[in-house]
Amino acid sequence: MAKPSNTIQPPAIPDILQKAREDFPILKRTVNGKPLVYLDNGASTQKPQAVIDVLNRYYSNENSNIHRGVHLLSVEATSAYEEARHTITDFIGANDDSEIIFTRGTTESVNLVAHSFVEPQIQAGDEILITHMEHHANIVPWQLLCERTGAILKVAPIDENGALDLEAFKNLLSEKTKLASFVHVSNAIGVINPVAEMIAAAKEKGVPTLLDAAQSIQHMPLNVKELDCDFLAFSGHKIFAPTGIGVLYGKRALLDEMRPYQGGGDMISTVSFEGTTFKEPPSRFEAGTPHIAGAIGLKAAIDYLQSIGLETIARYEEELLKYATVQLRAIDGLRIIGNPAKRAGAISFVMENAHSHDVGTILDTEGVAIRSGHHCCEPLMKRLGVSATTRASFSFYNNHTDVDTLVSALKKVSILFE
């Protein structure tokens, strides 16, 4: 079969992104003597100087515990932490700061919903609906819940291109479904799900929804009021902020009815051995000293991102992904896994004679960082008939030179393993 042609112009870099790359100090380093080409943004994104500076400033000047002391440092730390919450409220279009719960990341956000929202109201025989392309973080918490309660995990199928079967998803929604939880953008293959339709269909049946936005929030504008999801989860480290901080958004009316997640300080109103009363959301769900610096870093990352604009980022990344797709398709023996109509973030592929792990090592010797393996999506990999893929995942600081370096490194792989 003739290979498709690879004549495509590299995308023009918008003015505002021209300098963005310089904002990320790590992108100046070398790996194995070669300039770093960082294409593992799906796993974690790099941090701009603005975020690093804020962390430095916080620990140098403001560090203290929050919601506790009357002294100045504590007051400053508390207000910085709560300001961070407010930035997120605005960023995702929530109604009120009380709808933003700080967690450790997407994984904890999903577990929180499982424990505090679903578990108290679920009975044996009830159902949770997910899709076949979920990250393990949106599979395993539900399996554990089902084990504890006798509920049943239902999985909406996908086709061989990796696209969701929307009709099947709709048909799996019923009065037994206690929650539909699904990924917005697949971390493994970059598919964008038709989440507006999915949420609308769930609404129609009275089923609450949790959107895993771990791989969409950094690539496109997102608004929880427009989407009308009941919950939304994302991780700070995938949106240019530190690890160990993440967000669960929940509609206030639902949060009000939910039981605490963990017990401890900061989440109680009064404690006595006769009984304890809990605070209102969001504090009810934030037991113990949180990752204060992480929350402040997350605010800095979002401020930075908004100074560029997610529309600009989305448009540029779409062009960059198109360019990369055409270049990759032109490589002999390379097959792209997942062929979505709409893609964001990632391109996954396999090479005829080289295992993804070998591809990863050779790319590393060329300074190119990608991920190989099952991407925490074993069921998806099985469905698509592969055990592992190589995944290049992009961010706005990547450019066509990164793609070209990736492509020439892959050509070396082909030669070594031909």
Partner 1 sequence: MDPKDLYKQTLLKHSKSPHNEGELIDSTHQAKLTNSLCGDEVTVYLKIESNSIQRATFTAQCCSICTASASMLTQKVQGLPTEEAHYFAQKITTQLQDKDKPLVLSADDELQSLEGVKQFKSRIRCATLPWEAMLASLASSSE
Ligand X SMILES: Cc1ncc(COP(=O)(O)O)c(C=O)c1O
Q: Which alpha helices (H) appear in 330-377, and where do they start and end?
A: 356-365
Per the annotation, the verdict on 376 as an active-site residue is: yes
Q: How far apart are the first and last CA of the chain?
A: 18
The answer to whether 124 touches 132, Cβ cutoff 8 Å, is: no
Q: Which of 146, 229, 376, 377 is catalytic?
A: 376
- Residue 183 interacting partner from partner 1, ligand X, none (CB closer than 5 to 8 Å by kind): ligand X
Least distance (Å) between residue 370 CB and partner 1:
13
Q: Name the one residue in this structure whose structure tokens are 């949180």.
A: 290
Stretch that binds partner 1, among 65-73, 94-102, 204-212, 357-365 (CB under 8 A): 357-365
Residues 380-399 that bind partner 1 (CB under 8 A): 381, 387-388
- Of 44 and 74, which has the nearer Cβ to ligand X? 44
Which listed residue (357, 401, 408, 411) binds partner 1 by CB under 8 A? 357
Dihedral over Cα of 377, 379, 385, 388: its sign: positive
CA-CA distances (angstroms) from residue 305 to 288, 302, 400? 29, 5, 21
Q: What number of CA atoms fall less than 13 Å from residue 259's CA on the CB side?
A: 12
Which of residues 153, 326, 414, 417 is near partner 1 by CB under 8 A? 417
Q: Which does 362 bind (CB under 5 to 8 A by kind): ligand X, partner 1, none?
A: partner 1
**340 touching partner 1, by CB under 8 A:** no
Residue 354 found at the interface with partner 1 (CB under 8 A): yes
Q: Are 149 and 179 in contact (CB under 8 A)?
A: no
Q: Which one of 95, 171, 361, 401 is in contact with partner 1 (CB under 8 A)?
A: 361
Distance of alpha carbon 207 from alpha carbon 103, whole angstroms? 24
Binding status of residue 29 toward partner 1 by CB under 8 A: no
Q: Which of 3, 18, 26, 32 binds partner 1 (CB under 8 A)?
A: 32
> Which residue in 161, 365, 401, 408 binds partner 1 (CB under 8 A)?
365
398 binds, among ligand X, partner 1, none (CB under 5 to 8 A by kind): none
- For residue 401, state whether it binds partner 1 (rule: CB under 8 A): no
In this structure, are residues 409 and 395 in contact, taking their beta carbons and an 8 Å threshold? no
List contacts with ligand X (CB under 6 A).
Answer: 105-107, 135, 137-138, 183, 187, 212, 214-215, 235, 376
Ramachandran region of residue 33, left (φ > 0), alpha (ψ -120 to 50) or beta? left
**Calpha distance 370→372 (Å, rounded):** 7
Beta-bridge partners for 271: 276
C-alpha distances (whole Å) from 105 to each of 96, 157, 194, 291, 295 are 20, 26, 23, 11, 11
Question: Which two structure tokens, joined as six digits, stand for 400?
Answer: 């066509």
Spell out the alpha helix ranges (H) of 39-158. 49-57, 72-92, 106-112, 140-149
57 makes contact with partner 1 (CB under 8 A): no
What sign results for the dihedral spanned by CA atoms 65, 282, 220, 159? positive
Nearer to partner 1, 61 or 387 (CB): 387
Question: Residue 68 CB: number of other CB atoms within 10 A?
Answer: 14
With respect to ligand X, which residue has the nearer C-beta, 299 or 371? 371
Instruction: Pick the piece of the chain touching partner 1 (CB under 8 A) from 54-62, 214-222, 226-234, 361-369.
Output: 361-369
3 state DSSP class of 381 = helix
Least separation, in Å, of the C-beta of 3 and partner 1?
A: 23
Residue 319 has a CB neighbour count (10 Å cut-off) of 17
Q: Does 358 bind partner 1 (CB under 8 A)?
A: yes
Query: Between 239 and 370, whose beta carbon lies closer to partner 1?
Result: 370
Chain residues 96-125 in contact with partner 1, contact rule CB under 8 A: none
Q: How far is the CB of 135 from ligand X (least distance, A)?
A: 4
Q: How many CA atoms lie within 13 A of 235 on its CB side?
A: 21
At closest approach, how far in Å is the CB of 383 from partner 1?
Answer: 15
What's the one-letter identity of residue 343? R
Question: Which residue, among 148, 131, 141, has the nearest Cα to 186 in the 3D structure?
Answer: 131
Q: Is 362 in the site for partner 1 (CB under 8 A)?
A: yes
State which residue, 333 or 340, has the beta carbon closest to ligand X.
340
Pick the closer one to partner 1 by CB: 109 or 372: 372
| 140 near partner 1, judged by CB under 8 A | no
Name the site residues for partner 1 (rule: CB under 8 A): 32, 353-358, 361-362, 365, 372-374, 378, 381, 387-388, 412, 416-417
Which residues are designated catalytic? 376
